[in-house]
Protein backbone atom coordinates (compact mmCIF):
# COMPACT_ATOMS: atom_id res chain seq x y z
CA UNK A 1 0.00 0.00 0.00
CA UNK A 2 1.22 3.48 -0.74
CA UNK A 3 1.54 6.14 1.93
CA UNK A 4 -0.15 4.34 4.79
CA UNK A 5 0.18 6.42 7.93
CA UNK A 6 1.79 4.74 10.91
CA UNK A 7 -0.60 3.21 13.43
CA UNK A 8 -1.21 5.47 16.40
CA UNK A 9 -1.63 3.97 19.86
CA UNK A 10 -4.36 6.15 21.41
CA UNK A 11 -3.59 4.86 24.91
CA UNK A 12 -0.23 6.66 24.82
CA UNK A 13 -1.61 10.03 23.73
CA UNK A 14 -2.73 12.99 25.78
CA UNK A 15 -6.24 14.26 25.12
CA UNK A 16 -4.87 17.13 23.06
CA UNK A 17 -2.62 14.89 20.94
CA UNK A 18 -5.45 12.39 20.38
CA UNK A 19 -7.78 15.19 19.32
CA UNK A 20 -5.19 16.60 16.89
CA UNK A 21 -4.63 13.15 15.38
CA UNK A 22 -8.39 12.65 15.05
CA UNK A 23 -8.79 16.03 13.34
CA UNK A 24 -6.01 15.13 10.91
CA UNK A 25 -7.71 11.82 10.06
CA UNK A 26 -11.04 13.58 9.52
CA UNK A 27 -9.38 16.09 7.15
CA UNK A 28 -7.78 13.27 5.16
CA UNK A 29 -11.05 11.37 4.91
CA UNK A 30 -13.00 14.48 3.93
CA UNK A 31 -10.49 15.29 1.19
CA UNK A 32 -11.71 12.30 -0.81
CA UNK A 33 -8.16 11.58 -1.97
CA UNK A 34 -7.65 8.45 0.15
CA UNK A 35 -8.10 4.99 -1.42
CA UNK A 36 -10.92 2.85 0.00
CA UNK A 37 -8.71 0.39 1.91
CA UNK A 38 -6.76 3.21 3.51
CA UNK A 39 -10.02 5.05 4.30
CA UNK A 40 -11.26 2.01 6.21
CA UNK A 41 -8.02 1.84 8.17
CA UNK A 42 -8.12 5.57 8.91
CA UNK A 43 -11.75 5.31 10.02
CA UNK A 44 -10.82 2.54 12.48
CA UNK A 45 -7.94 4.63 13.84
CA UNK A 46 -10.27 7.60 14.14
CA UNK A 47 -12.81 5.58 16.09
CA UNK A 48 -10.14 4.51 18.59
CA UNK A 49 -9.00 8.11 18.96
CA UNK A 50 -12.62 9.24 19.45
CA UNK A 51 -13.05 6.65 22.20
CA UNK A 52 -9.84 7.83 23.89
CA UNK A 53 -10.99 11.45 23.81
CA UNK A 54 -14.44 10.53 25.17
CA UNK A 55 -12.87 8.50 28.00
CA UNK A 56 -10.56 11.36 28.94
CA UNK A 57 -13.45 13.86 28.93
CA UNK A 58 -15.58 11.57 31.10
CA UNK A 59 -12.70 11.19 33.56
CA UNK A 60 -12.25 14.96 33.68
CA UNK A 61 -15.98 15.49 34.24
CA UNK A 62 -15.97 12.94 37.08
CA UNK A 63 -12.96 14.63 38.66
CA UNK A 64 -14.52 18.06 38.46
CA UNK A 65 -17.77 16.78 39.97
CA UNK A 66 -15.85 15.18 42.81
CA UNK A 67 -13.94 18.38 43.45
CA UNK A 68 -16.88 20.73 43.48
CA UNK A 69 -19.86 19.07 45.24
CA UNK A 70 -20.63 16.63 48.02
CA UNK A 71 -23.58 14.24 48.31
CA UNK A 72 -25.84 17.08 49.39
CA UNK A 73 -24.81 19.28 46.48
CA UNK A 74 -22.83 21.73 48.60
CA UNK A 75 -19.47 22.99 47.42
CA UNK A 76 -16.76 21.08 49.26
CA UNK A 77 -13.53 22.49 47.87
CA UNK A 78 -10.95 19.95 46.77
CA UNK A 79 -10.60 16.26 47.48
CA UNK A 80 -7.95 13.85 46.24
CA UNK A 81 -9.01 12.31 42.96
CA UNK A 82 -8.64 8.54 42.70
CA UNK A 83 -8.01 7.86 39.01
CA UNK A 84 -8.72 4.24 39.85
End-to-end CA distance of the chain: 41
**pLDDT of res. 18:** 93
**pLDDT of res. 16:** 93
pLDDT per position as a tens digit, 9-43:
788 889 999 999 999 999 999 999 999 999 999 99
Task: Output the pTM of the full model.
Answer: 0.67
Answer for the pair 63, 81: CB distance below 8 angstroms, yes or no: yes
Q: Could you say which DSSP state residue 35 is in?
A: -
Alpha-carbon distance of 38 to 25, in angstroms, equals 11
The dihedral through the CA atoms of 10, 22, 8, 46 has a sign that is positive
| Number of neighbouring beta carbons within 10 Å of residue 32 | 7
Q: Which domains does the chain have, with CATH numbers?
A: 10-68 (1.10.287)
Close Cβ partners of 39 (under 8 Å, ≥ 6 residues apart): 29
In the predicted structure, residue 59 carries a pLDDT above the cut 60: yes
**pLDDT of res. 2:** 40
Amino acid sequence: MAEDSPQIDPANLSFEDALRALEQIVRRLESGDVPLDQSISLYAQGEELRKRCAERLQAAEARIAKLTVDAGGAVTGTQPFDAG
